[in-house]
Amino acid sequence: MTVESHKRYEFINRIHVKEYTVISVILKIIISIITCLILFFVMIPIFFEGIGILLFIGTSIILVRYIIRFGIRKVGCMQIRTIFDFYSDRLVMRYDYIDREDDMGPRSEEYTFYYRDIIDLEYSVPLQCLNIKCGPILKIHYHRNSKEVEKDYTRNKKYYKNLIYLPQNKIDEFLKDIQQYSGINVKRLH
Q: Is the pLDDT assigned to residue 165 strictly greater than 90?
A: yes
CA distance 107 to 97: 6
Same structural domain, 89 and 167: yes
Amino acid 166 reads L
Amino acid 32 reads S
> What pLDDT sits at residue 100?
79
Same structural domain, 181 and 99: yes
Q: Give yes or no for a contact between 15 and 80, defined as CB atoms under 8 angstroms apart.
A: yes
Is 2 domain-assigned? Answer: no
Segment (H or E) for 79: strand 73-86
What one-character DSSP code corresponds to residue 168?
Answer: G
CA distance 120 to 131: 8
Same structural domain, 119 and 148: yes
CA distances from 19 to 75, 77, 97, 159 (A): 6, 9, 18, 20
Which domain range does residue 118 map to? 7-17+76-189
Q: How far apart are the first and last CA of the chain?
A: 44
Q: Is the pLDDT assigned to residue 184 strictly greater than 90?
A: yes
What one-character DSSP code corresponds to residue 166?
Answer: -
Same structural domain, 111 and 34: no
Q: Give yes or no for a contact between 101 and 19, defined as CB atoms under 8 angstroms apart.
A: yes
> What pLDDT sits at residue 77?
77
Q: Mean pLDDT throughout 49-76?
A: 63
Burial of 1 (0-12, 13-18, 19+ CB in 10 A): exposed
Q: How confident is the model at residue 118 (pLDDT cuts 50, 70, 90)?
A: very high
When divided into structural domains, the chain yields a total of 2
Same structural domain, 122 and 183: yes
Which range has the worst mean pLDDT, 20-24, 80-84, 107-111, 123-127? 20-24
Q: Look at strands 186-189 and 120-124 and give their pairing.
A: parallel
> What pLDDT sits at residue 138?
94
Q: Is the pLDDT assigned to residue 174 strictly greater than 90?
A: yes
Q: How confident is the model at residue 88 (pLDDT cuts 50, 70, 90)?
A: very high
